[in-house]
Chains A and B, each alone.
Chain A
């Protein structure tokens, strides 16, 4: 099993450009998450999904959109990138059955730079 994979690994954008980050998991997890991590800091939740076709806002959702059209994929979109969105983005997934303690499995991250 590949676990959680993210595409791409690195990306450089110019201000105003758009892009989509792809997250895929092969563990049949219901829950998926997008976080951002800024230098020397912990993770902040951007958006999450509790199942196919559902999404919800996290702590820092502004400037981002997400879609969960398939259970195994969770897409994060930046419509008009800004330098403040320079960060490392992590996707995670977790099992929702019982017992469920929300242990999360993380992808390797996408390093995004916005010039």
Chain B
């Protein structure tokens, strides 16, 4: 079973537009992380938000966390063709493990 579920499963936008993807989870967490996976590659850590944080920024990335709704969102502003990838949320529920969602496939058209 997967703790996190991303929405939408796939997203197609034009270069320069913003991309928003959402993650919902089921149990209380210590932190939530977002990863990017380019086609045929391993995952790369993007950003981590702790359970006592509500919003975090890193460059063109903005992550929000609503623990009351058990949900998070990842916003990529001014998207570029190079942002084309799959994006996964992962939750840490005070264990030694992360539980990954099914991912959102983002395509940014030039």
Residues of A within 8 A of B (CB): 4, 31, 33, 35, 40-45, 48, 50, 56, 58-59, 90, 92, 101-109
Chain B min CB distance to A107 (Å): 5
Residues of B within 8 A of A (CB): 1-2, 4, 30-31, 33, 40-45, 48, 50, 88, 90, 92, 96-103
**Apart from A101-B33, A105-B45, A109-B42, what are 9 other A-B pairs with CB-CB below 8 Å?**
A40-B102, A41-B102, A42-B2, A43-B100, A45-B99, A90-B42, A90-B43, A101-B48, A101-B92
Q: Are A42 and B45 in contact (CB under 8 A)?
A: no
How long is the Cα–Cα vector from A98 to B33 in the complex, in angstroms? 17
Chain B min CB distance to A5 (Å): 10
Q: Which residues from B are CB-within-8-Å of A56?
A: 96
- Residue among A40, A41, A42, A106 with the most chain B CB within 10 A? A42
Q: Which residues from B are CB-within-8-Å of A104?
A: 43, 45, 90, 98
Q: Are A108 and B45 in contact (CB under 8 A)?
A: no
A109, closest chain B residue (CB)? B42
Q: Are A48 and B103 in contact (CB under 8 A)?
A: no
How long is the Cα–Cα vector from A49 to B4 in the complex, in angstroms? 22
Q: Are B45 and A102 in contact (CB under 8 A)?
A: no
B105, closest chain A residue (CB)? A40
How long is the Cα–Cα vector from A59 to B98 in the complex, in angstroms? 11
- Residue among A56, A58, A104 with the most chain B CB within 10 A? A104
How long is the Cα–Cα vector from A31 to B97 in the complex, in angstroms? 9
Which 3 residue pairs are nearest across A and B when measured between Cβ atoms? A106-B42, A42-B100, A43-B100
Q: Which residues from B are CB-within-8-Å of A105?
A: 45
Residue of B44, B48, B96 touching A31 (CB-CB under 8 A): B96
Q: Are B33 and A103 in contact (CB under 8 A)?
A: yes
Q: Are B97 and A43 in contact (CB under 8 A)?
A: no
Q: Which residues from A are CB-within-8-Å of B103?
A: 41-42
How long is the Cα–Cα vector from A42 to B9 in the complex, in angstroms? 11
A56, closest chain B residue (CB)? B96
